[in-house]
Amino acid sequence: MAQPQPQSQRQRVYEAWKGNNRFFFGGRLIFGPDAKSLLFSVALIFVPVAVFCAFVARHLRHQFPAYNAGYAILAIAIVLAIYVLSLLSITAAQDPGIVPRASHPPEEEFHYDNLSLADTPGRLVFPRVKDVMVNGVPVKVKYCETCMVFRPPRCSHCSICNNCVERFDHHCPWVGQCIGKRNYRYFFLFVSSASILCIYVFAMSALYIKILMDGDYPTVWKALKHSPASLALLIYCFICLWFVGGLTGFHTYLISTNQTTYENFRYRADGRPNAYDRGCMNNFLEVFYTKVPPSKHKFREPIQEEARAPPANRAVEREEEPVGARTKVEDDLDIGGDLLKISQRHNYDGIDIEMGGGDRNSRNEAVSNSKLISKTDAQVPTVEDEVQHPSRGERSRSSDLASEGITTSAPAHLVVNAEDIGIITDMLPSQPDSELPFECWSCRCSTGIL
């Protein structure tokens, strides 16, 4: 028996992960497969803020001397940028709510009344959906063939990450991660704070253009020509505000109605009642003022040895059941063949005894007759030819052939001596006492006497 490996040498969960996620720092951080897009998103935030601080906020420091308000403009921009980048990192680097996979189909689900199993060669097939009640409203949950689990309500399988995610909202390409139950709050704070940052940079850049126009550059063209960075920031923030601002408004609506992006696009035209809507205020409280549930995975823990999966194919079991019966039939037919040979041997001995007192020619004639009889017996179909597909009827036919061979070959006064009975007894398969006495091969009786 193989000795279990020490815990320090066993493979960790994140090292044998079946999804498409990428892990860093020994499984402490989990990203999506497109984690490189996160760097692009960081650049889209960091570069404009750096340009704003270097070419716009620096000139505004001395425009508001009272209480050093000009420095506050620079500080607010830096703090907002750090806050947005932090929310982006938290959203992208944590478990969004991945549902644990199963090692085999759920056997306990077979006991549900609404699951009718169908046996097919190779596997068990059962319904892919079942109904559950959520707040008094029936909701269909689907079976995931990849994760081999029935998905909880509001759960969906992400084809990019190859994971089932609880309260799946969408897979965000800008974050490079699924947005689900555990990181949706941070995602909404990220897009809303990014919208605020865009509005702030846009407003301060416009303010600087206004100050230039009030000074030595009276026209808009001259002011923009003097500060091209302000013009670039105005255009950039205006475009970005359409995206992040639109996302903020859309997700505000989703939170107020307790929907996800997936549910909104998939069930918009169905007109079905929303089983999760608890009112606008309670919906916001559910998103922002509830504790984030812990991850269902311990990525740094060693992999635990799982119990062996139960057999999943009942049809195969039914096919294997007749093997014992088939073996018994074959053994019985072999015994019939051996009895046929014994009868032939006694036939030779009987002929020899009867012809013992005659002359040499008579004895040779008897031997020729015995050979003729054995040749005739050889033309009888052999027992082994009937064993290809044994069944009850074939067993009877083969046994009849054996009994006919005995009756034809053996003389009427055949006597089986004790030595032959011992040989026959040794050839018989061992059977429990409940199966004795055995059947007689000549007359099919159950006397136990040959």
Secondary structure of residue 181 in the 3-state scheme: coil
**Residue 406 scores a pLDDT above 70:** no
Distance (Å, rounded) from C-alpha 93 to C-alpha 175?
9
Average pLDDT, rounded, for the chain: 75
Residue type, 54: A
Burial class (CB in 10 A: 0-12, 13-18, 19+), 163: buried
Would you state the pLDDT for residue 316?
A: 40
Q: What is the pLDDT of residues 13-25, one digit of tens each?
A: 888 888 899 999 9
Tell me the C-alpha distance between 420 and 416, whole Å.
6
Q: What is the pLDDT of residues 330-378, one digit of tens each?
A: 555 566 566 566 656 555 555 454 444 444 454 455 445 544 444 444 4
pLDDT above 60: residue 248 = yes
Q: Which residues are catalytic?
A: 172
pLDDT at 429 over 90: no
The more confident residue out of 115 and 46 is: 46
Please give the angle made by the CA atoms of 222, 225 and 230, to the nearest 5 degrees: 115
What local confidence, expressed as pLDDT, does residue 180 receive? Answer: 95
How far CA 262 is from CA of 190, 267, 281, 319, in Å, comes to 19, 8, 22, 45
For residue 20, give the 3-state DSSP assignment.
coil
Share of the chain above pLDDT 90, in %: 41
Mean pLDDT across the stretch 142-171? Answer: 92
- 345 or 442: which leads in pLDDT: 345
Q: Which of 306, 305, 299 is nearest to 12 (CA)?
A: 299
pLDDT in tens, 126-140: 567 888 888 878 888
Q: Are 254 and 287 in contact (CB under 8 A)?
A: no
Least confident window among 95-99, 289-293, 426-430, 433-437: 433-437
Token pair 């005739």 is found at: 376
Does the structure show a pLDDT above 50 at 244? yes
Confidence at 427, pLDDT banded by 50, 70, 90: low
CB 233 within 8 A of CB 198: no
Strand, coil or helix: what is 140?
strand
Q: Is the pLDDT of residue 397 over 80?
A: no
The secondary structure element, H or E, covering residue 400 is helix 392-409
pLDDT digits 0-9 by tens, 91-104: 999 999 999 998 88
pLDDT of residue 303: 81
Do residues 244 and 191 make contact, with C-beta atoms less than 8 angstroms apart? yes
**What distance in Å separates the CA atoms of residue 130 and residue 150, rounded to the nearest whole number?**
9
With 80 as the cut, is the pLDDT of residue 243 above it?
yes
Q: What burial class does residue 333 get, using C-beta atoms within 10 Å of its C-beta: 0-12 exposed, 13-18 middle, 19+ buried?
A: buried
Mean pLDDT of 32-49: 93
Q: Is the pLDDT of residue 422 over 80?
A: no
Exposed/middle/buried for 434, CB within 10 Å: 0-12, 13-18, 19+?
exposed
| Residue 47 tokens, joined | 């570069």
Q: Residue 233: its pLDDT value, please?
A: 97
Exposure on the CB side of residue 100, measured as CA atoms within 13 A: 10
Query: For 114-151, b where at least 16 C-beta lie within 10 A, e where not — what string?
Result: eeeeeeeeeebebeeebeeeeeeeeeebebbeebebbb
Q: Is the pLDDT of residue 449 over 50?
A: no
Check whether 273 has a pLDDT greater than 90: no
Burial (0-12, 13-18, 19+ Cβ within 10 Å), 375: exposed
Greatest distance between any 2 Cα atoms in the chain: 154
User: Could you tell me which residue, 6 or 359, shows the higher pLDDT?
Assistant: 6
Helix (H) or strand (E) holding 286: helix 280-288
Number of helices (H), then strands (E), in the chain: 13, 11
Mean pLDDT of 375-388: 44
- Residues with Cβ within 8 Å of 290's Cβ and at least 6 positions away in sequence, in order, are none
**Nearest partner of 339 among 196, 443, 243, judged by Cα:** 443
Q: How far apart are the first and last CA of the chain?
A: 51
Pairwise CA distance, residues 263 & 391, whole Å: 58
- pLDDT over threshold 50, residue 442: no
